[in-house]
């Protein structure tokens, strides 16, 4: 059988493989949920870098090293934080039956969550996030695609693709909306680049300026998402040429 030991050098690096409670010893004073909530609150208020082990432990009223009884590595604290955000999603009991609508609504809800927690996109790159809430999310996403003729692998790819786009969009929105010194410098820089004349394509592409699209705030997101969903739902054609 597999070894269930959770301490020592052969302890699993994946926190979801560790039982939250072993039954021996004193009752733990904190839960994974409360730890994750404290870390998320700090990251929301002061940025991801502020969510250090010391700060989170202090927010819980615990000594720094006590936190390591619950979260053996910082990386696993990040896993807990991500799963806590996914837990905020309000998933319908079951999909409506229209994959396009279901996915669009789902991704829209995720965008709202990512606007509350702007540090998520930087974290989610290359991190599966398959905790309890992540599993529920995955299950719902796959259920949305149950009526299609996509293969299992194609469904997983679709989830990765749409979530990747989501994070990319949310991060872009966050950095451009942040304002501040960096953005002002960037504008100055791009103006100089454009007037230099050395980059005609770029100058032409930026000719319209970013001032021509204020009407619908989320139009770009909705339109691109709509296209991606269509692309993803298209049955697999023949292999491309290249």
Partner DNA sequence: GCGTACTACGTACGGCGTACGCAGGTAAGA
Partner DNA sequence: TCTTACCTGCGTACGCCGTACGTAGTACGC
Query: Rule CB under 8 A: which of 112-151 touch its own copies?
Result: 121-122, 125-126, 128, 130, 135, 138-139, 142-143, 146, 151
Under the binding rule (CB under 8 A), the answer on residue 233 touching its own copies is: no
Closest CB 87 distance from its own copies, rounded Å: 16
Q: Helices 132-144 and 74-86: crossing angle, nearest 10°?
A: 40
If the CB atoms of residues 22 and 191 are measured against DNA, the closer one turns out to be: 22
Query: Rule CB under 8 A: which of 53-82 touch its own copies?
Result: none
If the CB atoms of residues 65 and 202 are measured against DNA, the closer one turns out to be: 65
Among DNA, its own copies, none, residue 168 binds (CB under 5-8 Å by kind): its own copies
Under the binding rule (CB under 8 A), the answer on residue 227 touching its own copies is: yes
If the CB atoms of residues 11 and 194 are measured against DNA, the closer one turns out to be: 11
Under the binding rule (CB under 8 A), the answer on residue 172 touching its own copies is: yes
- Please spell the DSSP secondary structure of 91-123, one letter per residue: --SS--S-HHHHHHHHHHHHHHHHHH-TTHHHH
Stretch that binds its own copies, among 28-36, 42-50, 63-71, 211-219 (CB under 8 A): 211-219
- Of 17, 18, 49, 51, the residue nearest 35 (C-alpha): 51
Measure the CA–CA gap between 120 and 122, rounded to whole angstroms.
6
Report yes or no: 81 and 55 within 8 Å, Cβ to Cβ. no
Among its own copies, DNA, none, residue 161 binds (CB under 5-8 Å by kind): its own copies
- Of 70, 60, 56, the residue nearest 15 (C-alpha): 70
Under the binding rule (CB under 8 A), the answer on residue 29 touching its own copies is: no
Closest CB 220 distance from its own copies, rounded Å: 7
Token code pair at residue 161 = 């693709």
CA distances, 234 to each of 34, 146, 149, 229, 230 (Å): 42, 14, 9, 9, 6
Report the interface residues with DNA, using CB under 7 A. 6-7, 21-30, 50, 52-55, 62-66, 68-70, 73-75
Q: DSSP letter for 49, please.
A: G
Under the binding rule (CB under 8 A), the answer on residue 160 touching its own copies is: yes
Under the binding rule (CB under 8 A), the answer on residue 155 touching its own copies is: yes
Among its own copies, DNA, none, residue 206 binds (CB under 5-8 Å by kind): its own copies
Q: Helices 152-177 and 132-144: crossing angle, nearest 10°?
A: 110
Report yes or no: 150 and 158 within 8 Å, Cβ to Cβ. yes
Under the binding rule (CB under 8 A), the answer on residue 12 touching its own copies is: yes
């Amino acid at each position: 059988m597999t070894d269930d030991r959770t301490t020592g050098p052969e302890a699993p690096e994946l926190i979801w493989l560790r039982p939250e409670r072993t039954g021996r010893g004193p009752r733990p004073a904190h839960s994974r949920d409360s730890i994750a909530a404290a870390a998320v609150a700090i990251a929301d208020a002061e940025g991801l870098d502020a969510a250090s082990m010391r700060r989170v432990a202090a927010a819980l009223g615990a000594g720094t090293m006590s936190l390591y009884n619950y979260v053996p590595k910082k990386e696993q604290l990040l896993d807990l934080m991500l799963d806590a955000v996914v837990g905020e999603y309000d998933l319908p009991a079951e999909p409506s039956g229209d994959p396009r609508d279901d996915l669009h609504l789902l991704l829209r809800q995720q965008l709202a969550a990512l606007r509350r927690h702007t540090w998520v996109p930087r974290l989610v790159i290359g991190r599966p996030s398959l905790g309890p809430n992540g599993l529920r999310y995955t299950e719902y996403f796959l259920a949305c695609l149950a009526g299609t003729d996509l293969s299992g692998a194609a469904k997983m790819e679709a989830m990765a693709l749409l979530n990747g786009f989501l994070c990319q969009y949310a991060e872009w929105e966050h950095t451009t909306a942040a304002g501040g010194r960096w953005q002002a410098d960037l504008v100055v820089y791009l103006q100089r680049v454009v007037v230099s004349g050395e980059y005609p394509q770029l100058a032409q592409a930026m000719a319209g300026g970013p001032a021509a699209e204020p009407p619908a705030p989320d139009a770009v997101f909705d339109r691109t998402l709509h296209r991606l969903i269509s692309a993803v739902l298209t049955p697999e054609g023949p292999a491309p040429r290249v």
